[in-house]
Structures are given as structure tokens and as C-alpha cells.
Amino acid sequence: MSSLAEVEHQENKLSDTNFPLFSSLESAGHEQVVVCSRPDVGLKAIIAVHNTTLGPALGGTRMWMYQNEQEAIRDVLRLSRGMTYKAAISGLNLGGGKAVIIGDPHTDKNEHLFHAFGRFVDSLGGRYITAEDVGMTEQEMEWIYSETKYVTGIPKSMGGSGDPSPVTAYGVYMGMKAAAKRAYGSDSLEGKRVAIQGAGNVASNLARYIAKENAELFVTDIYREKAEKLAKELSATYIEPDNIYCLDVDIFSPCALGGVVNDETLPVLTCDVIAGAANNILDDETEHAARLDGMGIIYAPDYVINAGGIINISSELEGYNEELAMRKTSRIYDTMTDILEYADTNNITTLEASNRLAEERINAVGNIGKIYSSSSHFSHRKGELYMRDRR
């Protein structure tokens, strides 16, 4: 399996309409990409299975109005690869996968579209297990679930874990506190100036955790009404979206879409810590991680601290237990601490440290048995999902 750093060059080619698809997949280590089309119901989707060394590929389905098909492909490839590292660093026996549905989540949803998508997921026989992601709700997951058992994040009333956002937020909060302890000698956020980019479900729950510590909060979102509502609830300050980067704060927490730490925003950042829930926060993983390190900014790798979601939904595979999921998610604090120590010891960035630790686990298991067997399967018992691995 190629490291994250080795695939960056290939990723940059994905903006080219003639990008070399198979060489990009080979470089990043993807096993399978499935294009799903049902024009009669408006379905245009892509499922990417990155790596199944540790187990079936688990990752959410995102619905988004991409500018073009190349942007959708680039997103699903990056996200699915990130899920492999997320599962590995979290100690889960799962691989990485992701799906994207091209469409406006506010106007293009219909029941038949998600039934059709569920059938495509089912056709993979358990190599890919889907879940809720950006632009999706429990309602859509319920429709998908009616067509396939290979889905998590279904409503609690159906034996699932429901919305994973609160658990994701708790994991980000724990990772943020671990990074704060390294930066300030204490993990207390009291009096710290924290800027949260985004006011969605994860961002809102994260803001509530932080507010309980009497931090000074600043919030923004492209949907102004949502951000202003959250700011009013928590006595926070609303900031215009373009002004969030240059705000003088202690901690910057990107919780919307990725790529927000880039060549344009880096020069104006004045924070000590970056710790957010968004995936792929760094536009160029290798270059921008190194630049943050050089600026003395502690970066909490996004796929490490936002792993609460996958930890939560993975618990469904053995029968959901909310208390156990929260306890496992709290360990993100220890994982982040280990990464910081590993980075210091080896004089590398925190991103490189987390990548190495994840790759070590994947490679170790890969020496035993590399590809997830389709004989691993789910069975339904009293509304809960169970998985047996017969490898």
C-alpha cells in the first residue's frame, strides 16, 4: 500500500479531464471503484473501495452538488483512502471505503434514488458498508437499509446507532484537548479563543462541548442563519466566512468541507492549534503539514480526531451499545497524545506520524491475509447487525 505522501502527485492530476484513472487508483492503493447510474431516478453515484486488508470497507455516503464529475471522483478517492487510515489508527478491524452521490441534497432527493443506490451497495456483497455522511439524513439511510443489510447509522428505533454526529463531535473535542495540552501544558479550554468553521450537526455538538468549558467561541457557516442561531444559543460571536482564517484565536476548528488550509489561508493563520472535524483539511497533505509544523502550529490530523463517527457506527456490527461507543471514542485523546510523542521522537509532522502508525498496523495484518473475503457476512438478530468473519 502506498503512503499518503506518495499519492499526492497523482491526486493533483484529477482536475485534468484526461487524468489517468487506473494509474491513480494503483498509486493510491484502491481496490475497486464502482460507477452507479440510474437516470430514471436521477442517480449518479460513485463507490470507492480503498483497502480491505483489515476488514470490509466502511465509510459514509456523501451527497453533494459537485462542479463536475472529476471533482466527485477526486473527492471519493481521497475520502475512501482516508477511511482506511482512520479505521487503522483507531484500532478497528475495518477497511476504508466511501461513496458520493452527485446532486443537490436540498432539492434532488427522492425515495427511489436511494432505493436504487441501496441495490448497488448490496451488489458488492459486503465488501463495502455504507453510512450517513454530508448531505444525508437518517431518512435516506432507512431507504437504503430497505434494500441492503450492508448499512450502518440506521435509526435507533431499527436497532442502529442513529445520527453519529454527537459521537464524532465528542472525538474531535477529545483530540482538541490532547492537542491543547501539548500547546499550553493543560487540556483545559477555559478562556481559550476557539474559532469553529461550520454550524452543522457535528460542529454544533462540538461547540456545545467547548462552551461548557467557558471558552470564547467564534462561529461561521456559509449558511449564515445556522451560524447565527448557534452563536445566539452559546453566547458566541458570529464571524463572516471569509474572515474566520485571519481571526486571532488559540484554536482553529474546521468542521465543514476540506481543503481549507491551503496556500491562500496559511499566511493569515495565527492560531496555535488546528483541530477540526472536516475531512482532508489540508489541501496538500505533505506540503501544508510541513508548513504548519514550521509555523509552530500543532495540527491534529483530521482522520484521527474525527474517527468517533466510524467508531460509533462500527459498534452496530456487534450490536450497538452507546456507552461502549463513547468509551472507545474517548480513547482518541490517548491516540492523539501518542501521535504527538511519536512525531517529536522522530522529528516528523503529526500527519506523517499518524500515517506511519496506521500503515504499520495495515502492513502487519496484510502479511497474514490481504483481501477481505466475501464470505464475511452480516446476519440480522432482533433488529441488530452482526458480522462473522470466516477467513
The 10s digit of each residue's pLDDT in 63-91 is 999 999 989 998 999 899 999 999 999 99
Best-predicted range by mean pLDDT (92-101, 148-157, 317-326): 92-101
Looking at the structure of the chain, the number of domains it has is: 2
180 and 186 Cβ atoms separated by less than 8 Å: yes
Report residue 226 as a C-alpha cell: 445556522
What was the pLDDT predicted at 322? 86
Do 117 and 145 fall into the same domain?
yes
Q: Are residues 203 and 239 in the same domain?
A: yes
Residue 360 belongs to a domain = no
More confident site: 17 or 83: 83
Same domain, 190 and 301: yes
Distance (Å, rounded) from C-alpha 390 to C-alpha 374?
A: 9
Q: Are strands 95-102 and 298-299 parallel, antiparallel or unpaired?
A: unpaired
Query: 239, 220 in Cβ contact below 8 A?
Result: yes
What CATH number is associated with residue 39? 3.40.50.10860
Does the pLDDT of residue 275 top 60, yes or no?
A: yes
Of 44, 86, 98, 109, which one is the catalytic site residue?
A: 98
* Residue 156 annotated to the active site: no
Amino acid at 230: L
User: Residue 264: pLDDT above 80?
Assistant: yes
Q: Other C-beta atoms within 10 Å of 17: how many?
A: 8
Model confidence over 196-239: pLDDT tens digits? 999 999 999 999 999 999 999 999 999 999 999 999 999 999 99
| Domain assignment present for 347 | yes
In a shared domain, residues 132 and 173? no
**390 in a structural domain:** no
CB 96 within 8 A of CB 86: yes
pTM to 2 decimal places: 0.82
Residue 135 in domain: yes
**Pair 77, 145 in one domain:** yes
Distance between CA atoms of residues 29 and 90, nearest Å: 20
**Residue 187 belongs to domain spanning:** 165-353
Helix 165-184 and helix 201-211: axis angle, to 10°?
Answer: 50
18 band by pLDDT with thresholds 50, 70 and 90:
low
Q: Clarify whether residues 16 and 69 are in a common domain.
A: yes
Residue 133 in contact with residue 294, Cβ under 8 Å? no
Q: Which candidate, 289, 325, 258, places its Cα nearest to that of 100?
A: 258
**Residue 204 located in a structural domain:** yes
Domain-located, residue 387? no
The reported pLDDT for the residue numbered 368 is: 63
State the pLDDT at residue 138.
85
Q: What is the pLDDT of residue 20?
A: 63
Strand, helix or coil at 105? coil
Cα–Cα nearest to 200, from 244, 171, 245, 163: 163
318: which DSSP letter? Answer: B
Same domain, 77 and 217: no
Q: Which three cell numbers stand for residue 116?
A: 436504487
Quick check: is 372 in a domain? Answer: no
- 289-298: pLDDT as tens digits: 999 999 999 9
Question: How far does Cα 95 stand from its chain's mean position?
Answer: 13
Please give the residue that has the higher pLDDT: either 10 or 56.
56
Looking at the domain assignment, is residue 337 inside a domain? Answer: yes
Same domain, 130 and 172: no
- pLDDT of residue 243 exceeding 50, the answer is yes
pLDDT tens, residue by residue, 128-158:
999 988 899 889 999 999 999 999 888 887 8
